[in-house]
Amino acid sequence: MSAVSVVRSGYGSELEHRIREAIRACGGLAIRDRSRIVIKINLCDFRPPETGAITDPRFLDAFLGYLDDCYPDHEIYVVENEATSAAPDLFVE
């Protein structure tokens, strides 16, 4: 079963602290020793972060800070895929 944590936060220095709080409330992250960490972000739209349609770069920065602090020996990858050429209706039978 998945855990969900909701923590109210502003931006700035408190954001990484709130990320830590939210992760702790969910029981932590299940990251193995010496593994790769891959983060799939959502930046394929020309909308401001306040809309919730894309990953807020300030959140990503704070989350990467958290990961770098807690998992310094891990390889961290941030990945994205542009979706402008997607044609989902081609796969409908």
pLDDT at 67: 94
pTM listed for this prediction: 0.77
Report the chain (93 residues): mean pLDDT per 10 consecutive residues: 81 87 91 86 82 87 93 91 64 56
Whole-number Å distance between alpha carbons of 23 and 15: 12
pLDDT at 88: 59
pLDDT at 38: 92
pLDDT at 84: 64
Q: Which residues contact 49 (CB under 8 A, 6 or more apart)?
A: 55, 56, 57, 58, 59
Please state the domain extents for the chain.
31-81
